[in-house]
Amino acid sequence: MSLMNRLPWRREREERTESREEPTSIDLFRDMNRMFDEFFTRGFGLSPLWSEEGWASFSPSIDVVETDDAIRVSAELPGLEEKDIELRLDNNMLTIRGEKKHEHEERDAHTYRTERTYGAFQRTVALPTEVKAEDAEAVYRNGVLTITLPKSGDVVSKKIKVKHG
Amino acid sequence: MAEQTNLQIQETEKQEVEQSAAEPTRTGYIFVPRTDIYETDEAIHVVCDMPGVRPDGADITLEQNMLSVSGHVEPTWPEGYSLNYAEYRIGDYERRFTLNTEVNEEAIEAKLNNGVLHITLPKMRPTRHKIAIQAAG
């Protein structure tokens, strides 16, 4: 542990970030999603059937956020176009698939660095509640895909006000 | 196989800029944008993945031979949300590159489209001429 970590304000900051990941339901959710993804990208440790530069190369990161009346899924997909993205909703499982294309073909030139990844991808996320598929909306802006899925009527949560007794 | 696994992890996580020992003056994360650099006969191309940065949200400066790139991300959280599942963190991007080729500063072009910043740095025309040596005779 470095000296900086021992300083009280530093420690407080670290503890805060850790506590954000505390709830076990989130862990379960995350594990479940990892399982799906591992199955699709690696098939539980088996070598993938598809090519190396195919599905295994680009995998977007996904965030799932819940409000009182909707679920919002967002994914970082830099360098795509709307037409390259395909979305499906089956049994409360949202699948995002698409292809990130190589945009510069002048590769005969010197290449110094290739950190960005390309290729086809597929990710499946289990949604935490039932949603109205027909009212789902997806927007792709500045390299981020945002999908808003309104919760179906019977799961919309209502705030209960606590009265002073 | 082990190497491949490492690669997979690296791909899904954004790399944070290493903080110096000094106390940070800003809150929030700063990430290193994933970058491709390639050179053609005419120019050097720098391509950075900056998802979430608006077309006018990036800053590029060239000082001496130091190219600095930064991008600002405005988080757009819905009101009264709770986080269910998060894989990526939202923050700004920052990176510096040292160029070892003379570039034409006046003709530098940058485009930010769909979260990808593409900077074209045209090379200076070579001022030296090769002089052929004629065989004496």
Q: Could A72 and B81 be called an inter-chain contact, meaning their C-beta atoms sit closer than 8 Å?
A: yes
B40–chain A Cβ distance below 8 A for any pair:
yes
Q: Which two tokens stand for residue B88?
A: 């990526």
Q: Any idea what the Cα angle at residue B34 is, between residues A87 and A26, rounded to 5°?
A: 50
Region of A143 (left: φ > 0; alpha: ψ -120 to 50; beta: rest) is: left
List CB contacts (< 8 A) between B15 and chain A: none
Tokens 């199955």 label which residue?
Answer: A39
Instruction: Return phi, psi of residue B13, to 5°.
Output: -110, 140
Q: Which two tokens stand for residue A129?
A: 């509640």
Q: What is the CATH number of domain A10-103+115-155?
A: 2.60.40.790
Q: How far is CA B111 from CA A41, B39, B40, B118, in A?
A: 32, 17, 18, 5
List CB contacts (< 8 A) between B26 and chain A: none
Residue in chain A closest to B79 (alpha carbons) equals A67
Q: Which residues contact A151 (CB under 8 A, 6 or more apart)?
A: A69, A70, A71, A129, A130, A131, A132
Hey, where are the domains in chain B?
43-74+88-125
The CATH number of B43-74+88-125 is which of 1.20.120.1200, 3.40.50.300, 2.60.120.380, 2.60.40.790? 2.60.40.790
Q: pLDDT in tens for each of the 165 residues of chain A?
A: 444 444 444 444 444 444 344 445 555 656 666 665 655 554 444 444 443 443 346 778 888 988 888 899 999 999 999 999 999 998 888 999 998 877 666 656 788 888 888 888 889 988 888 899 899 999 999 999 999 999 887 766 677 889 988
ipTM: 0.72
Query: Most A CBs within 10 Å: which of B36, B67, B117, as the mutation test of the A interface?
Result: B36
Hey, where are the domains in chain A?
10-103+115-155
